[in-house]
Every structure is written in C-alpha cells, then in structure tokens.
Amino acid sequence: MDPYVLVGGGLTTARAAEALRTGGYDGDLVVVTTEPHHPYERPPLSKDYLRGESERDVVFPLDESWYREHDVVVRTGETVVGLDPAGHVLTLSDGATLAYAKALLAPGSAPRTLDLPGGDLAGVHYLRTIDDSDRISSRLLEASLEGVGRIVVIGDGWIGLEVAASARSLGLDVTVVGDGPHPLGRVLGPEMSDFYAGVHTEHEARLVRDASVLAIRGTDGRVTGVDLADGTHLGADVVVIGVGATPNVGLAEAAGLDLRPAAQGGGIVVDGTLATSAPDVFAGGDVASVPSPHYGRPLRVEHWAVAQETGAHAGRAMLGAADPYDKLPYFYSDQYDVGMEYTGWVDVQAGYDDVVVSGDAGKREFVAFWRVDGLVVAGMAVNVWEQMERVEELIRSRRKVSTAELEGFVG
C-alpha cells in the first residue's frame, strides 16, 4: 500500500505521526518538510530560546530517534509543490513524485512581509523559523554583551510583544511600532490591550501607536533606523517585523480543494474529522478552517494548542475515527514576569458586551472574561494558574453569567 504522507515540518505533523503509530498504523509513513530540520514547535522561538536560555532541543516535541524507532521517514529540505487528488500523487520541487494512500496538509503559515525601502538591509528580520530565531538571537545577545543595542519591532501583536519582552529582558533599548491605538487590540480589545501596554511601559519599552512606517534606513548595507510617516526617526541596530502571517494554502488552492474566503478567516475547508473536500486528504494546524460546534462557525486559529490538537485528531481520523473536533481555542504567552493562558474565542471587531475582571489587575493576578449576550465566550488568566478547566466550563455552559459570579471567580 502507498504510504501515509504528512506535509509540513511543525507540531501538527509530529503529533499526527505520533497518533498514527500509537493508534496501530504500521504501514509506511513519510513526513515531507521544506526546512532542514525534523518537525518542531515555535513558541520558544520568541521566548526562552530567543534569549539563549534554552538549548535547541527544547523546540522538538519528538527526538530524531523517535522517528527512527517508529519507522517514520522524514524527508527534510523537500517541498511539495503539487497535489493530484484524483491520482493520489504529490509532486516535489525537484520533479519527483510521491504516491500516497492518505495525506495530511499542515504547511503552516508564512510571515506577512512589508514592501518597504530598506527592507532587505542586514539586520532586518522576520521571525518564523528556528533559523530566523537563531539569527535574531545571535544579534540580540551580541548587543546585550556589548551593553548597547537598539531594536525596533514593527508590529504589536503576540510575536512582536514577545520579541520586545525578550529583547528588553536582555537589556536592549526597545521600541514597538503599532498601526492601531492598542497593542494586541485586534485580539483582546482595548481593556486587556491596555493592560499589556502598561506591562511593557513599566519595563521601559517604548510603544508607538497609530503609526505608519515609511522606510527602513541603513548605512553600508546595514540597518540604522526606521522612518515613520509623521516624520519621526527611530534609531535601530536591529529591526524585527511581526505583522501577522498568511496560511500556506497555495498547494490546496492549485489542487482545487475548497477554501474559506479571507473575510471568514481563510484557510482550507475541513469537516469535523479535518477531512478536506478531496478524498483521503486532511488538513490541520494554521491552514485548517475547522467548524466549531460551540461557536457555530468555522475557526482558523494560529496557535500552538491548535497545531497540537488538530495533529493528533487528524492522525486518529486517518485511521477511521469519526468524532468531530470540538476543542476550544487555547493559547498562552510569557512576557517579562507575566504569564498568561487564554481559552475561548471572541470576535473583537464584531464587538462584545464587556470584560469582567476577577482578582487584582494591579498585582497582575487575575482572570478576565469576555461576554457576548451575557454568555462567557472567552477567558484569560494572568499569573493565576490551573484555572482553564473552570473557565472552559463557564464557556461551555452556554448560560448567562452574572457580573457578581464572575468577579468572585478568583477567591
């Protein structure tokens, strides 16, 4: 029989391979990844690994020995460029073909790029891969040891703020440039966005809001600063651009698979088993637009837990499991001394009723709840641990929860 093929080099494929083997699949199993590494996870790339506090093995969910011991062939440095659903054949960038019995598409996302003058200068970086993290880390650590160094982070989402926190923790001069009024505003709304703004300000990171970047400046091929539309010039020895990511759906689109419109979050349309519109082809991780039984709409979420859970779910589905995917979105972030866990989903742009805080935001120990029509739709715990199960229970209860009950959540 032709092999099961897992396309992608991230956590999704690692967990799918694990689920297939533990689920009893003993046939040929192949992982194809563009990068020269075995599948790895990305959260440490902007946190402890970036700061030089962890060794490289922290990013690998499975050791290389696991793949050998379980007869999983990992083809690194190869890119799948074609998918023939009718013929059950994948085409690689070197022209070779690979037949499959079943396939999982988990190619992840690519960083959104900015077409700016000076964008190709040395010292200008995007953070997506472990090699990106190595390059940025080397420069940050070098600047830290020298006792000088200015970094400008363009983008005030999770990646931008985590990089900013790591750089500030290393003693660098940090400026974060955002194009809106609130850092993380598109995800958290103004209330909790302002909380994170306060955290960074307290740690002496500079936040520039409602800004537009005109150009990146340099001398002798190396970056020296960033020009903003209002005439401000920000000196910089390092620039990191983190303005979001785009799901890698080109392979699926060319093969004629159903895609979700960008206005609905984009991604590859899948059913509850993560099966795509093509027979024997599944999708997981960043590219999968997954129907949510709880929220009654498809969700495409670019976070660690989704990669982990959809990978395992797809692996089981490839073996015949028919249970629908019903995990609530979950993610976490560590910035300075602030650890956060979040579960649920809220459409900030569409609006919500309010945010109710239980605990003490001033002491940075609290749980925040977002309500829509009186129902809790999402919750975020800051420096308060082992609360996610309780938060999830409230979300799944689908009942109106009073302000008093929420305010008393943290005892």
Q: Can you give the pLDDT at residue 42?
A: 96
**378-388: per-residue pLDDT in tens?**
999 999 999 99
Residue 148 has pLDDT above 90, yes or no: no
Percent of the residues in the chain that have a pLDDT greater than 90, as a whole number: 97
Q: Can you give the pLDDT at residue 146?
A: 77
Q: Residues near 393 by Cβ (< 8 Å), separated by ≥ 6?
A: none
Across 337-358, average pLDDT: 96
Least confident of 145-149, 260-264, 319-323: 145-149
Residue 391 has pLDDT above 90, yes or no: yes
Which region, left, alpha or beta, applies to residue 231 given φ > 0 means left and ψ of -120 to 50 means alpha? left
Query: Which two three-digit tokens encode residue 7?
Result: 């396309």
**276-306: per-residue pLDDT in tens?**
999 999 999 999 999 999 999 999 999 999 9
Q: State the chain's mean pLDDT as an integer.
A: 96
Query: Collapsing DSSP states into helix, strand and coil, what is residue 165?
Result: helix
Query: Which two three-digit tokens encode residue 23?
Result: 């689920």
**C-alpha dihedral over 337, 56, 70, 90, to 10 degrees?**
100
Across 212-218, average pLDDT: 98
Q: How far apart are CA 7 and CA 398, in angstroms?
A: 37
**252-278: per-residue pLDDT in tens?**
999 999 999 998 999 999 999 999 999
**194-206: per-residue pLDDT in tens?**
999 999 999 999 9
**239-256: per-residue pLDDT in tens?**
999 999 999 999 999 999
The two beta strands, 338-344 and 375-382, are: antiparallel
**359-384: per-residue pLDDT in tens?**
999 999 999 999 999 999 999 999 99
Query: Which two three-digit tokens encode residue 38?
Result: 């075995």
Q: Residues near 55 by Cβ (< 8 Å), separated by ≥ 6?
A: none
Percent of the residues in the chain that have a pLDDT greater than 70, as a whole number: 100
pLDDT band at 392 (very low <50, low <70, confident <90, very high): very high
Nearest to 75 by CA among 95, 59, 61, 92: 92
Residue 147 has pLDDT above 90, yes or no: no
Contact 279, 192 (CB under 8 A): no
**85-125: per-residue pLDDT in tens?**
999 999 999 999 999 999 999 999 999 999 999 999 999 99
Count how many residues are written for the chain. 411
Q: Can you give the pLDDT at residue 1?
A: 87
Residue 45 has pLDDT above 80, yes or no: yes
Across 126-137, average pLDDT: 97
Q: Can you give the pLDDT at residue 411?
A: 77
Contact 377, 371 (CB under 8 A): yes
Contact 335, 162 (CB under 8 A): yes
Q: Can you give the pLDDT at residue 131?
A: 97
**221-239: per-residue pLDDT in tens?**
999 999 999 999 999 999 9
